[in-house]
A and B are shown apart, each in its own frame.
Chain A
Amino acid sequence: MQKALLEVQNLTKIFPGIRALDDVHLSIRSGEVHALIGENGAGKSTLVKILTGVYFPTSGVIELEGKPISFKNAIEAQEAGIVAIHQEASMFPELSVTENIYMGHHIRNEKTRKLDWKAMTEHTRVLLSQMKLDINPDTLVKNLSVAQRHMVEISKALSLDARLVIMDEPTSALTGREVEDLFRIVRELRDSGKAILFISHKFAEIFEICDYFTVLRDGQYIGEGEVRKSSEDDIIQMMIGRSVDQMYPEHTTHTGEKILEVRGLSQLGAFKDISFDLHRGEILGLFGLVGAGRTEVVRTIFGIDKADGGSMSIEGKPYNPRNPQDAMRRGIALVPEDRQKQGLVLQMSLTHNISLPMLTKLCWKGLVTKGKSEKTYVEKQGNEMEIKAAGYHVDAETLSGGNQQKVVLAKWIGTDPKILILDEPTKGIDVATKAAVHEFVCEMASRGVAVILISSELPEVIGMADRVMVMHEGIQTGFIDRKDLSAELVMRYAIKEVKEVTHA
Chain B
Amino acid sequence: MPDNSFSQFVRRTFARREATLMVLLVVLLVPITVRSPQFLSPKNISTILNDMAILVIVAIGQFYVILSNGIDLSVGSVIAFTGMACGMINESFPQVPVGLLLLVGMGIGAGLGLVNGVLVAYGKIPPIITTLGTMSIFRGMTFLLSKGTWVTAHEMTDSYIALPRTTFLGISYLLWIALFVIVLFYYFSRNTRTGREIYAIGGNPTAAKFVGVSESRIRLVVFLISGTLCGLAGSLWTARYASAVNEMATGFEMQAVAACVLGGVNFSGGAGGIIGVALGTLFLGVVTNALPVIYLSVFWQTFVQGLIVLMALALNTISDQRKTRKLLEQRRG
With a CB–CB cut-off of 8 A, which chain A residues contact B206?
341-342
- Say yes or no: A359-B3 contact (C-beta < 8 A), given A324-B211, A336-B210, A341-B207: no
- Say yes or no: A16-B331 contact (C-beta < 8 A), given A347-B203, A347-B271: yes
Some 29 contacts from A to B, beta carbons below 8 A apart, are A16-B333, A302-B210, A304-B210, A325-B214, A328-B212, A341-B207, A343-B210, A345-B207, A345-B208, A346-B203, A347-B203, A348-B200, A352-B196, A357-B211, A359-B196, A359-B197, A363-B192, A363-B193, A366-B193, A368-B191, A368-B193, A371-B191, A375-B3, A382-B1, A391-B2, A391-B3, A393-B3, A393-B8, A398-B327
Contact B3 A379, beta carbon cutoff 8 Å: yes
Contact B210 A324, beta carbon cutoff 8 Å: yes
Flag A360-396 by CB within 8 Å of B: 1 or 0 each. 1001001111010001000100100000011111000
- Say yes or no: A357-B200 contact (C-beta < 8 A), given A391-B3, A391-B8, A398-B330: no
Q: Total number of A-B contacts with CB less than 8 angstroms?
A: 102
Q: Is A83 an interface residue (CB 8 A)?
A: no
Closest residue of A by beta carbon distance from B206: A342
Which 6 A-B pairs have CB atoms at the shortest separation, nearest pair first?
Answer: A345-B203, A357-B211, A325-B212, A359-B193, A324-B212, A393-B8
Cα distance, A151 to B303, chains bound together (Å): 54
Q: Is B12 an interface residue (CB 8 A)?
A: yes
Which residues 235-294 of B have a CB within 8 angstroms of A? Answer: 266, 270-271
With a CB–CB cut-off of 8 A, which chain A residues contact B203?
345-348
Q: Is A115 an interface residue (CB 8 A)?
A: no
Contact B197 A341, beta carbon cutoff 8 Å: no
From residue A83, how far is it (CB to closest CB) to chain B in Å? 30
- Say yes or no: A323-B214 contact (C-beta < 8 A), given A342-B206, A342-B207, A348-B200: yes
Contact B327 A324, beta carbon cutoff 8 Å: no
With a CB–CB cut-off of 8 A, which chain A residues contact B11?
393
Cα distance, A336 to B196, chains bound together (Å): 21
From residue A359, how far is it (CB to closest CB) to chain B in Å? 4
Which residues 330-358 of A have a CB within 8 angstroms of B? Answer: 334, 336, 341-348, 352, 355-357
Q: Is A217 an interface residue (CB 8 A)?
A: no
Q: Is A397 an interface residue (CB 8 A)?
A: yes
With a CB–CB cut-off of 8 A, which chain A residues contact B270?
345, 347-348
Closest residue of A by beta carbon distance from B213: A356
With a CB–CB cut-off of 8 A, which chain A residues contact B207?
341-345
With a CB–CB cut-off of 8 A, which chain B residues contact A366?
192-194
- Say yes or no: A352-B211 contact (C-beta < 8 A), given A346-B204, A347-B271, A393-B3: no
Closest residue of A by beta carbon distance from B272: A347
Which residues 124-158 of A have a CB within 8 angstroms of B? Answer: none
With a CB–CB cut-off of 8 A, which chain A residues contact B208?
345, 356
Q: Is B147 an interface residue (CB 8 A)?
A: no
- Say yes or no: A367-B193 contact (C-beta < 8 A), given A346-B203, A347-B203: yes
B: number of interface residues (CB 8 Å) = 35
- Say yes or no: A397-B327 contact (C-beta < 8 A), given A357-B211, A389-B1: yes
- Say yes or no: A344-B199 contact (C-beta < 8 A), given A367-B191, A393-B8, A400-B331: no
Q: Could you tell me which A residues sit within 8 Å of B by CB distance?
A: 16-17, 302, 304, 323-325, 327-328, 334, 336, 341-348, 352, 355-357, 359-360, 363, 366-369, 371, 375, 379, 382, 389-393, 397-398, 400, 411
Which residues 279-333 of B have a CB within 8 angstroms of A? Answer: 327, 330-333
Cα distance, A322 to B209, chains bound together (Å): 12
Closest residue of B by beta carbon distance from A355: B196
Partner of A348, one of B1, B199, B327, B330: B199
From residue B12, how far is it (CB to closest CB) to chain A in Å? 7
Flag B7-51 by CB within 8 Å of A: 1 or 0 each. 010011000000000000000000000000000000000000000
Closest residue of A by beta carbon distance from B200: A345
Closest residue of A by beta carbon distance from B1: A391
Closest residue of A by beta carbon distance from B195: A368
- Say yes or no: A324-B191 contact (C-beta < 8 A), given A341-B204, A345-B200, A389-B1: no
With a CB–CB cut-off of 8 A, which chain A residues contact B199?
345, 347-348, 352
With a CB–CB cut-off of 8 A, which chain A residues contact B214?
323, 325
Closest residue of B by beta carbon distance from A387: B1
From residue B13, how far is it (CB to closest CB) to chain A in Å? 12
Cα distance, A397 to B204, chains bound together (Å): 12
Cα distance, A375 to B1, chains bound together (Å): 12
Cα distance, A369 to B187, chains bound together (Å): 10
Residue with the greatest number of chain A CB neighbours at <10 A, chosen from B5, B191, B271: B191
With a CB–CB cut-off of 8 A, which chain B residues contact A390?
1-2
Cα distance, A392 to B89, chains bound together (Å): 52
- Say yes or no: A323-B212 contact (C-beta < 8 A), given A345-B270, A391-B3: yes
Flag B135-172 by CB within 8 Å of A: 1 or 0 each. 00000000000000000000000000000000000000
Contact A368 B3, beta carbon cutoff 8 Å: no
With a CB–CB cut-off of 8 A, which chain B residues contact A344?
204, 207
From residue A382, how far is it (CB to closest CB) to chain B in Å? 8
Cα distance, A325 to B209, chains bound together (Å): 9
With a CB–CB cut-off of 8 A, which chain B residues contact A304?
209-210
With a CB–CB cut-off of 8 A, which chain A residues contact B197?
356, 359
Closest residue of B by beta carbon distance from A351: B3
Known A325-B212, A368-B196, A393-B12; 5 more pairs at CB < 8 Å = A347-B199, A347-B203, A359-B193, A375-B3, A398-B327
With a CB–CB cut-off of 8 A, which chain B residues contact A400?
331
Closest residue of A by beta carbon distance from B269: A347
With a CB–CB cut-off of 8 A, which chain B residues contact A411?
211
With a CB–CB cut-off of 8 A, which chain A residues contact B327?
397-398
Cα distance, A334 to B210, chains bound together (Å): 8
With a CB–CB cut-off of 8 A, which chain B residues contact A347?
199, 203, 266, 270-271
From residue B197, how far is it (CB to closest CB) to chain A in Å? 7
From residue B2, how far is it (CB to closest CB) to chain A in Å? 6
Cα distance, A304 to B208, chains bound together (Å): 12
From residue A466, how far is it (CB to closest CB) to chain B in Å? 26
With a CB–CB cut-off of 8 A, which chain B residues contact A334?
210
- Say yes or no: A345-B212 contact (C-beta < 8 A), given A363-B193, A366-B192: no
With a CB–CB cut-off of 8 A, which chain A residues contact B192?
363, 366-368
Cα distance, A356 to B12, chains bound together (Å): 20
With a CB–CB cut-off of 8 A, which chain A residues contact B12?
393
With a CB–CB cut-off of 8 A, which chain A residues contact B210?
302, 304, 324, 334, 336, 342-343
Contact A356 B196, beta carbon cutoff 8 Å: yes
Closest residue of A by beta carbon distance from B191: A368
Which residues 181-237 of B have a CB within 8 angstroms of A? Answer: 190-194, 196-197, 199-200, 203-204, 206-214
With a CB–CB cut-off of 8 A, which chain A residues contact B3?
375, 379, 391-393
Closest residue of B by beta carbon distance from A411: B211
Cα distance, A365 to B308, chains bound together (Å): 41
Cα distance, A324 to B211, chains bound together (Å): 7
Cα distance, A252 to B200, chains bound together (Å): 39
Cα distance, A371 to B190, chains bound together (Å): 10
With a CB–CB cut-off of 8 A, which chain A residues contact B2?
390-391
Closest residue of A by beta carbon distance from B197: A359
With a CB–CB cut-off of 8 A, which chain B residues contact A382?
1
Cα distance, A367 to B187, chains bound together (Å): 10
With a CB–CB cut-off of 8 A, which chain B residues contact A368?
190-193, 196
Cα distance, A367 to B191, chains bound together (Å): 6
Cα distance, A392 to B1, chains bound together (Å): 8
